[in-house]
Each structure stands twice: as C-alpha cells, then as structure tokens.
Structure 1
Amino acid sequence: MPSVNDALSAARATIDKVELCVAATSGDHGVANVRVVQKLSFDDTWCVAFATDRTSRKTAEIERTGKLTLLFEDDAEGAYAALIGTASVSSDLETKQKYWTGDLDRWFPQGASSENAAIVELKPERIELWNYAKGIAPEPLGLRAAVLERDGDDWRRLA
C-alpha cells in the first residue's frame, strides 16, 4: 500500500494539473448539486479558492452547511482527487483582490469591486483519491478510493 506521502503527492499532482473542477454542495432534501468552477488558488495547506456569484445557489448552500466537495479529474493518469471539507464565502474586497485574475472580468465586468463577486475558500478535512498510473488505491485497485484525513497539520491514511 502506498504511503501517505505518495498519496498526497499523487493528489497534489492531479489538483495542480486541473484548472476546472466540479464543486458539489448539499441542496434541499439531501440532493447533491454539482457545477464546474475554476480553481484560482491551491496552496501548501491544501486550501483551494474559486470565485462565484454572491447570489448563487452554491453560495447559499455553502453558507447554510459550511461544507463543500471539490472533485479534480485527470483522464491521462486515470486519476481523481476529491477534497472534502469546510468552506467559507467572502465578498470582502481584500479577499477578492488577493485571488482576482483578469479571466474573472468576463463574469464580473466591474472587477473585484463587483458587488456580486465572492470568493469561496475550501479547507479540506478529507481527501479521497485514486491514480491508476501511480498505483494509488486500495486493492482491488480502483474499486475503492484511498482515503486521507487531516490530523492537525498532518494527514493520516484511513483506507
């Protein structure tokens, strides 16, 4: 079974490679709502940020539950990494300016000062992944995900 560091390395490689990912939130009546979002930032603490409309359903669901899942997929490696954890939404100008890129101007022509622009920040507590190319997944390979859970500043393997 690959080490925690091998699993983290494989997950980071997948996330680094992917610009667009799938965001899943918990909707009404326990239904999952999914949509594509553009990753703006992915840092050494595993936090991911993306922009959204302050008035969107995704914003309301994140604010209601405080939870978010982001799914990153890499077909070439036969890999995925899902980051699951707590999320927050900020429409504070300083936060928006920290992450703002010119690409966002097409949705928010007023730039970071747009009233409806917001930044979502995800702090993962759990990572689920597999990567066929790197042999990352419990046996039988690929039928279950490798699972890591945050333990303070470190990660531990659950499966």
Structure 2
Amino acid sequence: MPDRTISDIAAKLKSIDIAMLVTKTGAEGAIAARPMSNNKDVSAEDGTTYHFATDDGRIDDDLKRSDQCGATYSSGEFYCAVQGTGKLHRDRATLEKHWVKDLEKWFENGLDTDGLVLIEVSPDRIAWWEGRDQGELTP
C-alpha cells in the first residue's frame, strides 16, 4: 500500500470540482446525496473541504439534525470517500474568506444571496483508491 499524505490527497481533491455530499436525512436517518462543488478549496493540512449552499434546502436541515456527513470524489482511476462532520457557517467574514467569483453562476446575488451558508466538512477518515493502489488516512 503506497504512502500518501493528506496533502497529496487534498491536491487530488482540489482538481475534482464536484463531489457527492452525503448526509443523514429525516427522522429515520436515511442517506441523501447531492452534487456540490468544493471550489478547489481543500485544506492541505487536514483535508477539510468547503461547499456553498442556501438554507432553504434539505442539506441545512440534515446537518442541523446530525453533523455526520461524507463526500465522494472520482476522476479517472482515482476515487475517494471522505467521512466526517459538517458545520454550517453563516457569518459574513467566513463566507468571504471562502468565496470564489465562479460561484456567481449559482448564486446570482453573490455573498448577498438570501440564506447563503458555507458547509465545512472536516474529515475523520479519508479512504482512497487509484488503480490497484489504495489507502486510508485519519487526519
């Protein structure tokens, strides 16, 4: 099993724009997934990712009910599954820190979009596969 660092995996995740972000939903804790951009905002130190959404959808309610979440990524022969906790941010300073201009195609009022939230996904476990290689990291 080849050695990969969190920084190595973070660099790969930065190059993959869309992840399937997975949360527990409803009273039964069923699984829900939706595509989300990571905006190339991935921490090389611990693999934390950041995703923008609005609070009028299910994801906001899901993360309020349970902070357990995950994200899956794939590109070519590289696959990655991140399991961790999600945190919602609403304060303007944090939103500004992670905002990128490309997000305006999804949020036409930019940082002034009603109900704009930032979802921070902090990994507890990162599993990856690339060709015949595979590994697991715990930040």
TMscore range, shorter length = 0.7 to 0.9
Write out per-residue CA displacement over residues 100-156 of structure 1, whole angstroms, 9 at most, x where no aligned residue. 122222332221122311100111010111110xx422xxxxxxxx33223xxxxxx
The structure with more helix, counted as a fraction of residues:
1
Distance 1:24 1:106, change over 3 A: same
Q: Which runs of 5+ in 2 are unaligned?
A: none
Equivalent residues in 2 for 1:8-87 (5 A)?
Answer: 8=6, 11-28=9-26, 29-40=28-39, 41-44=41-44, 45-75=46-76, 78-87=77-86
RMSD over equivalenced CA pairs, Å: 1.8
Runs of 4+ residues over 3 Å off in structure 1: 7-10
Per the alignment, residue 138 of structure 2 pairs with 149
- Quote the sequence identity (%): 21
TM-score norm. by structure 2 comes to 0.86
Paired residues in the alignment total: 136
SS, match of residue 58 in structure 1: helix
Write out per-residue CA displacement over residues 41-60 of structure 1, whole angstroms, 9 at most, x where no aligned residue. 10122110010011210111
TM-score norm. by structure 1 comes to 0.77
Contact kept? 1:10, 1:136, Cα under 8 Å: no
Q: Which runs of 5+ in 1 are unaligned?
A: 138-145, 151-159
